[in-house]
Structure 1
Amino acid sequence: MTGYVPSTALPSWLLDDARLRAAAQRHDFGTVFRLARRHAGISYSRIAAECDIKPDRVGTLARGQGKVATFEKIVQICDALRIPGRLVGLTDRPWEATPGSGRAGAEVDGTVLRRRFLQAAGLATTMPSILTNPPGRIGQQTVTCLRERTARLRRLDDVLGGGDTFRVYSAEYQATKALLREARYSEATGRALLSVLAEQAQQAGWAAFDGGRESDATSLYEASRVAALDAGDTALVGNALAFLAYQRLGKDRRAGAEIASRSTETIDDGTPASVRALLHERRAWACAVADMPVEAERSLVAANEALAKASEWPQPDWAAWVDRTEVDIMTGRCWTELRRPLRAVTVLERALSQYDDGHARDKALYSSWLAQAYLIAGEAEQAAEVTSRALVLADGVASVRPHKRLQPVLAELSAAKYRTLPAVASVLEQVRG
């Protein structure tokens, strides 16, 4: 690699450009591509060839649509454009000169690169010394450290799929299990550690589910439920049940709705408002899938009522992401599932217009319900346009769910009555390409 200089290598003067450096730092490669073409004359087709990206994907990124979200693709783009690793949070690449040595940097394997990439975001995958070398006795300060670390690591889920995050989250969970087993602590500290363990198990379980490891997800959710029960943390018990219900829906819809109902039964006077909203909206979804429209609507009302009180008290980090937009999206999903497209389209269009493309996986996933709602309403052209945007967003994200959700929509669009429509033909060609 060190002897080859790709035709897409950016000139040094452009690498010093403040706009390009800022774009590289936030992983906005669409802006990088646009600046490369405008100021260095590097065509999108050359960028596509060197980065192993489809030409139309380079163009859509350059227009500000979508985001590069996988570690491997970020590394590949940096190598093709000769963007120094430090600008994007990587270690020095093999083609960079090691400072002061005058020689090419040593080869660094992918594991080390990934670790350095996470470290740059303040999310190092190496365990804190408190986990690798636990003292004889630990207290609440250790629990606070672990809880804050778990919250920081949760931010990875905003931009990466479960295929990229599962190992990180699983390692954290296993390290805390070892700490519980090997260290000495008071009964109160032990309960607090179990609560952290339950939270970490749910985080790892979610990544497993998102990455297509369904059996791992089930095991982790169940382990989380047990740990939360032992900790006396009813909020996390409820969330573990909600996760288990989500998975059960694919096999037995009524059973899934029953488990979701059990999750809301854990709510008491001490349950934080954001957790109440989360459990009610997840029950709403389970009831919609089980074709229980009255119960689904009641749960959506309960979720909105809970959310109205969410600002009164501090909320746990693992539920703090539940906001009005999230509940609106769940509302649209439920009405789509219940085949009420007029209700679904309005709320989904509004909610998705406020959703940042940087959250590529989630926006692609939620867009699939908008596309489905349009199809139910007989609006194939609009369904095709939404599907096209969702496919662009989902490209390169290490999650199985967006493409899995879009497959039935694409299958329906492939029907003879739709496939000759220009917008439909275009999205079908997009898939084939």
Structure 2
Amino acid sequence: MDEIPGWALRLRTERRERLWSQRQMARALVEAADERTRAHLATRESLTRMIKDWEKGRHQPKDPYRLLYCRVFDLSEAELFDLAGTAPRKSPAQVLAAIMPEGDLLSRLPAQTGRRIGMGTVHDLSARVHGLRLADDVIAGSDLIRPAFRELDAAVRLYRCGTHTEEAGQALLANIGELAQIVGWIASDAGQHEQAAQTYRLGISAAREAGDGPLEANLIGSLAYQTVNVGDVQEGVALARAALEAAGPDASPRLRALTWDRIAWAHARAGEAQPAMRALGEASAALDSTAGADEPSYLYWVSADELQIMEARAYTELRRPLRAVPLLSEVLTRYDATHARELALYLSWLAVALADANEPEEAARTASRMLDLSADLTSDRTTQRARVVLARLKPYADVPQVRELLTRYPMSA
């Protein structure tokens, strides 16, 4: 494959740094035009397709679009469209640096071991854990895995090399557990499943030593989710049930909802419809009781929409598309387009459900959106889901829309 020219990479990078989808980019270009120019621009749908071509370097935008790009990004034409090209202005590591708190945690340590680690350092580490979670929203696994493991290594060295009070030590262990959960997730997204499993186990050990049952439950649930997807499904079911036990009867509502959600998914992957449906009911009931609850900050993303998506995924896995399609179609109309990986993954489930519902034309349209959205993501999850989607569409290869899609994406199939 020919290398994408520098100007095309800059167009894509500038857009993604603003957390815009290609559709949002089209809107920004239109809004930057004066009334006379706007009347002659392509339709929003056509402009979105043009942006996809530009970002792949197939051809450069011509005026007035070049001018509008410069206006939106506040860059000169020479900076943006220089054919000599340069690398994108910010790499994933630079994006991460912009999101994470300033400084290197290790650089603040004394050169010798045995020095006391205070709560100020613990709070710094907590901020970095939060920053890494924010980074994972916009950077895919293969781009994030190296800095993520550096953060985890720094946290472990803080605990092992320093001295601290019992309170600070427990807080450090809890932070290591939280870091291990998100780093394990990132490693899994990069396709490093054994590395992810080992990282989850490190986190489980840290959470257990810290006496943090909810965090231990979250880590066991994360390991269960990966095991169900890429390992022994029945082992994954057992791990998901173990997470519920670790959470205990006093677990917060969001944690109960997440734990039951993972149990539901495990049973759906095992083809066990009734246990899956019961677990989904438990998850929904738990989330309904969140009002006024004190929740761990790492559960911020557990919402009614996420549970609805999991319910739809379970129905899709159980080959009940007539239940899955309405649920996914509704929630995806309001899903945050800046979270490109998750949006692509959820579109993949909708495409499969539509194919199962004998709607190949609509399935192909949805799959095309999913594949375009994930084209520049370094995520093993989206790569594997693309293969699943295209394989499910192959029986409809005589349908023109499907045939065109399979022609455009032969390698993914």
Q: TM-score range by the shorter chain?
A: 0.7 to 0.9
Partner AA of 2:274 in structure 1: V
The answer to whether the Cα contact below 8 Å between 2:92 and 2:144 also exists between their aligned partners in 1 is no
- Structure 2 residue aligned with 1:302, among 263, 269, 282? 282
> Which residue does 2:172 correspond to in 1?
193
1:82 and 2:79 correspond: yes
Q: Name the CA distance, whole Å, in 2 between partners of 1:160 and 1:327.
A: 23
> Which residue does 2:404 correspond to in 1?
426
The answer to whether the Cα contact below 8 Å between 2:374 and 2:382 also exists between their aligned partners in 1 is yes
The answer to whether the Cα contact below 8 Å between 1:118 and 1:124 also exists between their aligned partners in 2 is no
> Which residue does 1:172 correspond to in 2?
151
- Structure 1 residue aligned with 2:359, among 374, 379, 382? 379
Q: Name the CA distance, whole Å, in 2 between partners of 1:189 and 1:251.
A: 37
Matches within 5 A, 1:135-174: 136-174=115-153
Q: Name the CA distance, whole Å, in 2 between partners of 1:111 and 1:186.
A: 44
Cα-to-partner distance string for 1:24-73 (whole Å, 9 max, x where unaligned): 8615484389479979x9x99998888644569x99xx9xxxxxxxxxxx
Partner AA of 2:278 in structure 1: R
1:239 and 2:218 correspond: yes
Change (3 A) 1:55 1:44: farther
> Which residue does 2:18 correspond to in 1?
26
SS in 2 for 1:82: helix
Q: Name the CA distance, whole Å, in 1 between partners of 2:227 and 2:96.
A: 33
Change (3 A) 1:113 1:159: closer
Question: How much identity, in percent, do the aligned residues show?
Answer: 33
- Structure 1 residue aligned with 2:209, among 208, 230, 233? 230
The answer to whether the Cα contact below 8 Å between 1:198 and 1:224 also exists between their aligned partners in 2 is yes
SS in 2 for 1:157: helix
The answer to whether the Cα contact below 8 Å between 1:357 and 1:393 also exists between their aligned partners in 2 is no
- Structure 2 residue aligned with 1:182, among 161, 175, 179? 161
- Structure 2 residue aligned with 1:413, among 382, 386, 393? 393
How far residue 139 of structure 1 moved from its aligned partner, in angstroms, is 2.9
Matches within 5 A, 1:344-355: 344-355=324-335
How far residue 294 of structure 1 moved from its aligned partner, in angstroms, is 1.6
Q: Name the CA distance, whole Å, in 2 between partners of 1:374 and 1:9.
A: 33
1:210 and 2:220 correspond: no
Q: Name the CA distance, whole Å, in 1 between partners of 2:402 and 2:159.
A: 55
The answer to whether the Cα contact below 8 Å between 2:253 and 2:290 also exists between their aligned partners in 1 is yes
Q: Name the CA distance, whole Å, in 2 between partners of 1:343 and 1:24.
A: 34
Matches within 5 A, 1:380-395: 380-395=360-375
1:368 and 2:374 correspond: no
Partner AA of 1:322 in structure 2: V
TM-score, normalising length from structure 2? 0.79
The answer to whether the Cα contact below 8 Å between 2:92 and 2:139 also exists between their aligned partners in 1 is no
Change (3 A) 1:326 1:398: same
How far residue 129 of structure 1 moved from its aligned partner, in angstroms, is 4.4
Partner AA of 1:379 in structure 2: E
The answer to which of 193-202 and 245-254 deviates more is 245-254
Partner AA of 1:338 in structure 2: L
How far residue 376 of structure 1 moved from its aligned partner, in angstroms, is 1.6
The answer to whether the Cα contact below 8 Å between 1:9 and 1:81 also exists between their aligned partners in 2 is no
Structure 2 unaligned blocks of 5 or more: 42-46, 66-74
Partner AA of 2:260 in structure 1: H
Cα RMSD, aligned residues only: 3.9
Change (3 A) 1:390 1:203: same
Partner AA of 1:195 in structure 2: A
- Structure 1 residue aligned with 2:98, among 120, 130, 135? 120
Q: Name the CA distance, whole Å, in 2 between partners of 1:221 and 1:7.
A: 40
How far residue 111 of structure 1 moved from its aligned partner, in angstroms, is 12
Q: Name the CA distance, whole Å, in 2 between partners of 1:128 and 1:9.
A: 33
Aligned length: 377
Partner AA of 2:264 in structure 1: A
Q: Name the CA distance, whole Å, in 1 between partners of 2:310 and 2:120.
A: 37
Structure 1 unaligned blocks of 5 or more: 11-21, 63-77, 85-92, 97-106
How far residue 310 of structure 1 moved from its aligned partner, in angstroms, is 2.4
The answer to which of 337-346 and 140-149 deviates more is 140-149
How far residue 404 of structure 1 moved from its aligned partner, in angstroms, is 0.7
Q: Name the CA distance, whole Å, in 2 between partners of 1:254 and 1:424.
A: 35
Q: Name the CA distance, whole Å, in 2 between partners of 1:132 and 1:307.
A: 45
Partner AA of 1:429 in structure 2: T
The answer to whether the Cα contact below 8 Å between 1:253 and 1:289 also exists between their aligned partners in 2 is yes
How far residue 144 of structure 1 moved from its aligned partner, in angstroms, is 2.3
Partner AA of 1:350 in structure 2: E
Q: Name the CA distance, whole Å, in 1 between partners of 2:209 and 2:8.
A: 57
> Which residue does 1:100 correspond to in 2?
none
Cα-to-partner distance string for 1:122-148 (whole Å, 9 max, x where unaligned): 555733644576882123332222112
The answer to whether the Cα contact below 8 Å between 1:9 and 1:82 also exists between their aligned partners in 2 is no
The answer to whether the Cα contact below 8 Å between 1:118 and 1:125 also exists between their aligned partners in 2 is no
> Which residue does 1:342 correspond to in 2?
322
Partner AA of 1:253 in structure 2: V
> Which residue does 1:321 correspond to in 2?
301
Partner AA of 1:206 in structure 2: W
TM-score, normalising length from structure 1? 0.76
Partner AA of 2:18 in structure 1: R
The answer to whether the Cα contact below 8 Å between 1:48 and 1:54 also exists between their aligned partners in 2 is no
